[in-house]
A and B are shown apart, each in its own frame.
Chain A
Amino acid sequence: MSSNTATEHGQSAMRFAQFKLVLLGESAVGKSSIVHRFVKDSFTDSRESTIGAAFLTQTIQIDANTTVKFEIWDTAGQERYRSLASMYYRNAQAALVVFDITQESSLDKAKYWIKELQKQASSGIVIALVGNKLDLEEERKISKDEAQAFANELGLMYAEVSAKTGEKVKDCFKDIALKLPLEEKLSQQGQRRRRTVDLNQRPSTNEQQCAC
């Protein structure tokens, strides 16, 4: 969980901020596929339920001197029996609530996750309701108007994407990045690091010998 102000290319004004983004939505709506498209620009049709990597990062440049890094938390399958830990929501600043435009019930499930977010996440969280499988337009069961109206009502961002073709995936993350409280984050980042200890760092041996 590192964060700093980058000074690449000799430009002193490069700004860099890291945000935690969580994925939510029913199993098999394509949460992981959207992230894989965003992070690796790839897609596999027969993706198994998420095992292994559930902690990915990807940076996105939002203007000439500002980079946003997403620390992306996948559910690791813990959503299946509605057993996500409160830790999952903690300090999340953005959430992607995914449904499948070809699955009628998946929007209702998305509504459940939005409620959970409102209950458990911090109040300023940026939530995007995302309809996936735009490539299956001919099988669409949920109209864009209906989902968009629902998002508007709750003040959520709304996007329709295709993890398979990649359509609108990157735009969706960029739109989220633009909505995040960048200035606030930049001012906090420096402080936080000093307050906590890094367990992975071994102490140097000649330091601070107890001499009670």
Chain B
Amino acid sequence: MEGDYDVIVLGTGLTECILSGLLSIDGKKVLHIDKQDYYGGESASLNLTQLYSKFKPSKPYSDQFGKDRDWCVDLIPKFLMSNGELTNILVHTDVTRYMEFKQISGSYVYRGGRIAKVPSNQTEAISSPLMGFFEKRRMKNFLEFIIKYKEDEVSTHGGVDLDKITMDELYNKYGLERGTKDFIGHAMALWSNDDYLSQPARETYDRIVLYLGSVARYGKSPYIYPLYGLGELPQGFARLSAIYGGTFMLDTPIEEVLYEDGKFAGVKTKEGVAKAPVVIADPTYFPEKVKSTGQKVIRAMCILDHPIPNTSDADSAQIIIPQNQVGRKNDIYIATVSSAHNICAKGYYLAIISTIIETDKPHLELEPAFKVIGATKDVLMGIAELYEPIEDGSKDHIYISKSYDPSSHFESTTDDVKDIYKRVTGHDLVLKKRATVEEEAELAGLS
């Protein structure tokens, strides 16, 4: 470990591991350290022994839900948009060699006290209870506008400038009802509150396009999910980094951060001193250099022995409870997966409820979601404060990632990756197709 590196990375969360992989491919000499003895940091998936010791230390896991290692419980519940940027990065770096993905069976939205499937095709749309006959036609007109819109063909713009008109004005242009706005804004554009209504329509348009493209890709829902849980993602990118020369050290606390002239210079650990002009780290490694975003997220990991009621026994689902429906400011999300994704013992289901805390009794805020999921075998709860870096790293060469936000997908994570990549390297990330297995064999002198 001792010696000189181009970049030191601290923490093996997803953001850090993607950056580690990308920088190693670029030919940078990377040293990657984690103080914990497993990969993933905040984006790990834990077995039940690890999970109980973290969230219920007084009550160790005692095999009541089957074999401990059959469980991979995500600390941060998210799904991949099948047309999203993380999928794009996975394909370009060929990290897909190490992982397998499955669709999430359905996306559901809460309305009037019960959940209904977000239609993923015409047949489902016609029979959907989510809106009445005339509203369906208005919705269809709206979506046709979105699908046909082309940036460089003014005739498709319908007299609208997406950068000027607010989203609410655009909805009103198509005569959409409040409930339909909720549905589009929260279940398709995946906004978690209503601030977007008064913003220019552009970003919501982009989000709806991403949603529609993602649904179109595999059919059932816009989401995909890796077998064995999200914790496989950082591990896959760590392996990519290692294959391109990255050095990995788990279970290695940082004893001292070294500075020269106020700039990062290296770290000292039990293995000695490693030097590098740049460090990338998650917020836990530099608590004095991050600030709270003011938001706290509550997450409840619920162990079930049945599928979620009213989902046609789906093996996996995303359920969104829009804030308006339950008198809140922020949506409540429920992500559910099961043994179909190899994340728990057979016969069990895992539902993770999350939302941004609005009161001083956060567990009570989750009540509507508990009603949706039905009886639980056990519930583990945690509250996380979200952090972001105070500075951009240009002064001290310490580049810190943001905490994983409560959104249902990874789009903000990949934005952070691209932003840090640009600040560290001075240029935009351009994804190149990784060498094939054969080409890499050649590089390694094998043919």
Q: Given A40-B446, A197-B103, A55 and B437 touching (CB < 8 A)? A: yes
Interface size on A, residues (CB 8 A): 38
Give Cα A53 to B252, complex, Å.
27
Are A87 and B100 in contact (CB-based, < 8 A)?
A: no
Distance, CA A57 to CA B143, complexed state (A): 47
* Contact residue among A53, A76, A209, A211 (Cβ-Cβ distance under 8 Å from B446): A53
Question: Counting CB contacts under 8 A, is A64 at the interface?
Answer: no
Q: B287 within 8 Å of A by Cβ?
A: no
In the complex formed, the residue of B with least CB distance to A200 is: B91
Q: A58-90 vs B: 1/0 string, CB under 8 Å?
A: 000000000000000000111011110111101
Q: Is A174 an interface residue (CB 8 A)?
A: no
Residues 90 to 127 of chain B near chain A (Cβ within 8 Å): 90-91, 96-103, 118-122, 124-125
Across the interface, do A211 and B244 meet the contact criterion of CB distance under 8 Å?
no
Contacts of A111 in B (CB 8 A): none
Q: Using CB atoms, name the residue of chain B closest to A76.
A: B242
- Does any Cβ of B come within 8 Å of A9's Cβ? no
Identify the closest chain A residue to B219 (Cβ): A208
**Is B249 close to A, CB under 8 A?**
yes
Contact call B216/A203, Cβ cutoff below 8 A: yes
B216, A52: Cβ atoms closer than 8 Å: no
The smallest C-beta distance from A26 to any residue of chain B, in angstroms, reads 16
Residues of chain A contacted by B55 (CB below 8 angstroms): none
CB A196 to nearest CB in B, in angstroms, measures 5
Give Cα A90 to B224, complex, Å. Answer: 20
- Residues of chain A within 8 A (CB-CB) of B64 are none
The answer to the question of B87 belonging to the interface, with a C-beta cut-off of 8 Å to chain A, is yes
Q: How many residues in B have their beta carbons less than 8 Å from beta carbons of A?
A: 62
The answer to the question of A210 belonging to the interface, with a C-beta cut-off of 8 Å to chain B, is yes
CB-CB under 8 A from A80, the residues of chain B are 247-248
| B421 at interface, CB cutoff 8 A | no
B356: interface (CB < 8 Å): no
- Of the listed residues A51, A57, A77, the one surrounded by the most CB atoms of chain B closer than 10 A to its CB is A51
- Asked whether B215 lies within 8 Å of A52 as measured between CB atoms, the reply is no
Chain A, Cβ-Cβ closest to B231? A86
Query: Which residue of B101, B120, B143, B447 is within 8 Å of A40 (Cβ)?
Result: B447
| A residues near B271, Cβ cutoff 8 Å | 81
Whether B218 lies near A203 (C-beta < 8 A) is yes
Chain A residues with CB below 8 A from B249, complex form = 81, 83
Q: Out of A39, A78, A207, which one reaches B248, CB within 8 Å?
A: A78
Q: Is the CB of B121 within 8 A of A208?
A: yes
Contact A52 B247 (CB under 8 A): no
- Asked whether A212 is an interface residue with its Cβ less than 8 Å from the other chain, the reply is yes
Known: A40-B446, A211-B125. A54 touches B218 (CB 8 A): no
List of A residues within 8 angstroms of B125 by Cβ? 211-212
The answer to whether residues A1 and B446 also contact, given A81-B248, A207-B216, A208-B121 and a CB cut-off of 8 A, is: no
- Known contacts A83-B248, A85-B235; is A210 also within 8 Å of B215 by CB? yes
Rounded to whole angstroms, the CA-CA distance of A56 and B251 in the bound complex is 29
| Contact B119 A212, beta carbon cutoff 8 Å | yes
Query: Chain B residues with Cβ under 8 A from A197's Cβ?
Result: 82, 101-103, 218, 224
Total of A-B residue pairs, C-beta within 8 Å: 132
Q: Do B247 and A39 touch (CB < 8 A)?
A: no
Residues of B within 8 A of A168 (CB): none
- Which residues on B sit within 8 Å (CB–CB) of A51? 243-245, 444
List residues of chain A with CB within 8 A of the CB of B227: 196
The interface residues of chain A lying within 8 Å CB-to-CB of B228 are 87, 90
B217 touches A203 (CB 8 A): yes
Q: Which of A55, A87, A88, A196 contacts B102 (CB 8 A)?
A: A196
* Interface mask (B429-444 → A, CB under 8 Å = 1, otherwise 0): 0000000010011011
CA distance A37 to B299 in the complex (A): 51
Whether A210 pairs with B212 at a CB distance below 8 angstroms is: yes
Chain B residues numbered 407-447 whose CB sits less than 8 Å from any CB in chain A: 437, 440-441, 443-447
Closest chain B residue, CB of each to CB of A90 = B228
| Neighbouring B residues of A207 by C-beta, 8 Å | 216
B1 adjacent to chain A (CB < 8 Å): yes
Rounded to whole Å, the gap between the CB of B16 and the closest CB of chain A is: 14
B133 at the interface (CB under 8 A from A): no
A85 contacts B39, CB within 8 Å?
yes
Residue A109 is within 8 A (CB to CB) of chain B in the complex: no
- By CB atoms of chain B within 10 A, which of A40, A57, A203, A211 has the most? A211
Query: How many whole Å from A112's CB to the nearest CB in chain B?
Result: 14
Contacts of B122 in A (CB 8 A): 211
Question: Which residue of B97, B235, B248, B443 contacts A86 across the interface (Cβ within 8 Å)?
Answer: B235
Give A1 to B100 CA distance when docked, in angstroms: 9
Could you say which of A39, A208, A210 has the most chain B C-beta atoms within 10 Å of its C-beta? A210
Docked pose: A200 CA to B238 CA in angstroms = 20
Asked if A36 is an interface residue, CB under 8 A from chain B, the answer is yes
For chain A, residues 136 to 182, give those with C-beta under 8 angstroms from any C-beta of chain B: none
Q: Apart from A56-B446, A86-B231, A199-B101, list 12 A-B contacts with CB within 8 A.
A: A36-B446, A40-B446, A50-B444, A51-B245, A52-B244, A76-B242, A83-B251, A85-B238, A87-B99, A88-B239, A208-B121, A211-B121
The 5 lowest CB-CB distance pairs between A and B, nearest first, are A52-B444, A53-B444, A76-B242, A85-B235, A211-B122
Listed in ascending order, the chain B residues whose CB lies under 8 Å from chain A are 1, 38-39, 82, 87, 90-91, 96-103, 118-122, 124-125, 128, 139-140, 143, 147, 212, 215-219, 224, 227-228, 231-232, 235-236, 238-239, 242-245, 247-252, 271, 340, 437, 440-441, 443-447
* A–B complex contacts, Cβ < 8 Å, 20 sampled: A50-B444, A52-B244, A53-B440, A77-B242, A81-B1, A81-B249, A81-B250, A85-B39, A86-B231, A87-B232, A87-B236, A196-B101, A196-B227, A197-B82, A197-B101, A197-B103, A200-B96, A209-B216, A210-B121, A212-B140
